[in-house]
Structure 1
Amino acid sequence: MIYLVCHSGYLNFGDELIAKTWINFLTNKFPLEEIWVDTCNPGVSAVAFKDYKNIKFTDTLWTASRNSINKGIDYILDLGFQNDGGVSFANGLELIKSARCVHMIGGGYMNSEFYFNYAIIAILAKLKKEAGFELFGTGLGLEPIDQSYERIIGEFFKVFSWIDVRDEKSYQRLIHWGLKSKASFSCDDVFLSPIPQSDEDRPGKLIISAQPGSNPFLVVSFLLKLIEHCPQAQNGIEFLTLDAISDHIIIDKVVSISRRTDIVVRDFNDLWKNGFQISSNDFVFSTRFHAHLVASMMGARGLCASVSVPYYDVKHLSLIEMGSGFDIIGMHDFTFSYDWNKKTETFHDHAQTACKTKLDIVDKVYGFMIESSINDNTIDNSTNLSV
């Protein structure tokens, strides 16, 4: 049994896309293997992934996280959530101990911004020592880490079999903890998915993915000016709703104030079923990490901005340093004197290389299962995990 841990269940497109990437990948490679997915809202996830076989959903580890909200770090260190979890929580822990491997899939949920999620690695470290399952993480973003938590968190990660991260700062943190021999710096887990097909048969539009952050008035003001100055906006404007609640705080204001009648709003369900429909001719502005990533995979260029420092700075800069072709700006001081038709390489030009890097990590962490599955005839022995 494979036990996945992910920040799915809130219908945030990026988190759901990471979950979908791994569920697609693992059900294809290990079609007879039972897979449990520990998500924030298992009922929501079960509906989103209703078409998959051999997938079951639970929230044991996220119960530990929720029970740690507004509690001090000592509560997590003492595993106080275990005492407060009751019989159902104890049963969930026994299920985890029966796994062949526990895999924390990617995302930016394991850092000091959400310190209560440290309960997840605290209990996994304990269960790993008791049960001996393989424990690894891929595509994680560990920054920022508060200095008061640093040593403690490093101790938890020392019991992991492997930790793969998606940004340089997180990797340097692992090295600082003495974990270089079991650490890698690759890229976001979404690079494991097929490259989306771009729509090249239309003029470029302005594509926007924006959330309110701590200053929604700044975001709305910036977007109204962007619509006015960006030449691609003359061909149409499209809002991508990656989060149905927070994104509409921005979208509804901009649509109302701008009075543009050609604004198309693509909601979460549309994006989930039909994917991004982006052309390399489009100009994209994004405050969201995965809109930035997927747009670049499809050959588009544009701007990104952080609505939370340093959390989103680390995320966007990691993509820019990989070669997304985007520029990061401050919405408060951007002059709009910009080369809107600038040509530069994007992830579309080298996504295959990023995918190969991620596949090398996957071969490493799932190698023990490939060998046993071939012996048990539960995987096609003419292939390997990297095909």
Structure 2
Amino acid sequence: MRYLVNAAGIPNYGDEFIALAWLRYLQHHRPHDEVVLDCLDPGRADKLIRTRIGELPVRFADAMWALTRDVPEGERAYPVLRERVRPLARELFAEERPEAIHLLGGGYLNAMWPQNAALVAAAAEAGRAHGIPVYGTGLGLMPADASPEFREDLRSFRYVESRDAAGARELGIRKGLDDAFLGVRALVPWEDAPRIVVELQGDMIDDAAREIYRARIDELLAREGAATGAGVAFLEAFPPHDAALWPELCEAYPEARFIDFWELWERGQSGAPGQIWLTTRFHAHLLAAATGAAGIAIDIRGDYYGVKHRSLTALGTGWPVVRLDDPAPLPPARTSPLFRRTSQLRAVRKRLLAGRLHPPAR
């Protein structure tokens, strides 16, 4: 049994995409292995993913995520949380011991959600107590938990990497790649691709920031000659929050399209050469740039989104990253044909890592 953990089931496009990419890898290379995906909402993740992974025997669960719930405010400091979780983790894996526990990539293990660090504590304890190999790939760890115990537990993993240089430096672990690169090669262009794509965001943004983002949208569409919304698509990656702005956008841009999460999931978040994207979200930046689109990334929180977007510009997407509160006009959308090619090489690199952690069956 292979025990995977990530934040699928919210749903949030990037987390679902990463879970699907790893399960598809196992479907092709270890098709007879029993797999558990421990996630936020097993029922919803099952609905989204099961039909796409053939006959791979997957069980959707939330046993490890249950350790993150109902943690009192006073027990969220990592040293305290760790002591709370360790006996539970030993018991959880006492009878059914997987061949590996693998924390998949994503931005769910950082100081913004301190209770989620229970996943690190539980995985590390299972490794120590039962000798189970523990892996962490493509982890978004910034802003980081600064406690020595958190670093100790991360470094106890048999393999662990940060998806960005900032997290690698802060925690003294290797720098790797975001796990979404594992799924890049499966993306296909849309037949009816819009000329301009705006990804909406309704979470982690207050009313004042939402108004500023709305003004940025208006600025871009006016500059690109899309006053009626013709050739424009607005995307929802995190339902229902991202749709909050759509009613007023629909009124302002009557010819625009709204693509809800479920349609986006069916289509895939693929860009195309000649397209212009505006987004606050990290995986939209990564996947659209990897498939050839030009774009502008808006940083709505420097210690979280800023780190993520800058990690992509460091890889060469070509997209400018603009602080939400920057009063200057939006820069032109840019792209990098080289990044489109190197993304395919990074997908190969990620697949090679997958082969090391979960070797193909013979």
Do they fold alike, i.e. is TM over 0.5? yes
1:276 deviates by: 3.1
Q: Write the letter of the residue equivalent to 2:237.
A: L
Q: CA deviation at 1:199?
A: 5.0
Gaps of 5+ in 1: 84-88, 176-182, 375-387
User: Which residues in structure 2 correspond to 1:14-29 (within 5 Å)?
Assistant: 14-29=14-29
Q: Is the contact between residue 79 and residue 123 of structure 1 (CA under 8 Å) also seen in structure 2?
A: no
Q: Residues of 2 paired with 1:307 and 1:245: CA distance? A: 19
1:197 equivalent in alignment to 2:188? yes
The 8 Å contact of residues 296 and 346 in structure 1, kept in 2 or not, is answered as no
Counterpart in the other structure of 2:289:
296
Kept in 1: contact 2:4–2:101 (CA 8 A): yes
Structure-2 change in CA distance of 1:278 and 1:319 (3 Å): same
Give the Å deviation of 1:297.
1.4
In the alignment, the residues of structure 2 paired with residue 56 and residue 77 of structure 1 have an alpha-carbon distance, to the nearest angstrom, of: 26
1:337: Cα distance to partner?
A: 5.9
Question: 1:240 matched to which residue of 2?
Answer: 235
Residue aligning to 1:284: 277
The question of whether the paired residues in 2 share the 8 Å contact of 1:200 and 1:279 is answered with no
1:100 alignment partner in structure 2: 99
Equivalent residue for 1:56? Answer: 59
> In the comparison of the two structures, how many residue pairs are matched?
351
- The answer as to 2:351 corresponding to 1:359 is yes
Amino acid at match of 2:258: V
Which residue matches 2:126? 127
Q: Deviations over 1:17-44 (max 9, x none)?
A: 0001101111111000000010011111
Per the alignment, in what secondary structure is the counterpart of residue 101 of structure 2?
Answer: strand
Q: Which aligned runs of 4 or more in structure 1 are off by greater than 6 angstroms?
A: none
Q: 1:230: how far off?
A: 2.7
Report the residue type matching 2:169 in the other structure. Answer: Q
Larger Rg computed on CA atoms: 1
1:188 is aligned to 2:178: yes
Determine if contact 2:111/2:145 at 8 Å carries over to the other structure.
yes
Distance 2:230 2:211 in 1: 26
Are 1:18 and 1:189, in contact at CA under 8 Å, matched by a contact in 2?
A: yes
Contact 1:286–1:305 (CA<8 Å) still a contact in 2?
Answer: yes
Q: Report the CA distance shift for 1:41/1:91 in structure 2 as closer, same or farther (over 3 A).
A: farther
CA distance in 2, matches of 1:166, 1:126: 23
- The whole-number CA distance in structure 2 between the counterparts of 1:198 and 1:231 is 24
Long gaps (5+) in structure 2: none
Corresponding residue for residue 215 of structure 2: 221
CA deviations over 1:149-190 (Å, ceiling 9, x no partner) = 3x1211111220010221011121343xxxxxxx53221111
Quote the Cα distance in structure 2 between the aligned partners of 1:77 and 1:184: 23
The equivalent of 1:152 in structure 2 is: 149
Deviation at 1:246, TM superposition (A): 1.6
Give CA deviations for 1:224-282 in whole Å, capped at 9, x if unaligned.
222222346775210111011221122333223x2x21110101111111223532111
1:80–1:293 Cα change, 3 Å: closer
In structure 2, relative to structure 1, the CA distance for the partners of 1:69 and 1:26 (3 Å cut) is farther
Question: Are the counterparts in 1 of residues 233 and 257 from structure 2 also a CA contact under 8 Å?
Answer: yes
TM-score by length of 2: 0.89
C-alpha separation in 2, matches of 1:102 and 1:209: 33
Q: Which residue number corresponds to residue 30 of structure 1?
A: 30
Tell me the distance in 2 between the aligned counterparts of 1:361 and 1:289: 22
Residue 68 of structure 1, CA deviation: 2.3
- After superposition, the Cα gap between the structure-2 partners of 1:363 and 1:276, relative to the gap in structure 1 and judged at 3 Å, is closer
Residue identity over aligned pairs, in percent, reads: 25
Which residue among 167, 171, 177 is the counterpart of 2:168?
A: 171
* C-alpha distance in structure 2 between counterparts of 1:299 and 1:70, whole Å: 44
Which letter maps to 2:149?
I
Instruction: State how far apart, in whole Å, the 1-side matches of 2:139 and 2:212 are.
Output: 30
**Letter of the structure 1 residue corresponding to residue 275 of structure 2:** D
Structure 2 letter corresponding to 1:355: A
1:65 alignment partner, one of 68, 71, 82: 68
Structure-1 residue corresponding to 2:196: 206
Structure 1 residues 160 and 310: CA distance shift in structure 2, 3 A: same
Identify the match of residue 249 of structure 1 among 244, 247, 250. Answer: 244
Which residue number in structure 2 is paired with residue 377 of structure 1? none
Change over 3 Å in CA distance of 1:235–1:347 after alignment to 2: farther
Q: For the Cα contact (< 8 Å) 1:60–1:93, is it kept in 2?
A: no
Question: Aligned pair in 2 of structure 1 residues 7, 33: CA closer, same or farther (>3 Å)?
Answer: same
Q: How high is the TM-score relative to the length of structure 1? A: 0.84
2-side partners of 1:364 and 1:245: how far apart? 38
Give the distance between the partners of 1:334 and 1:346, measured in 2 at CA.
Answer: 31
In structure 2, the residue matched to 1:12 is: 12
Change (3 A) 1:169 1:338: closer
Cα distance change on mapping 1:23 and 1:218 into 2, 3 Å: same
**CA offset digits 1:94-130 (Å, max 9, x no partner):** 46x5100011110011111111111111122111111
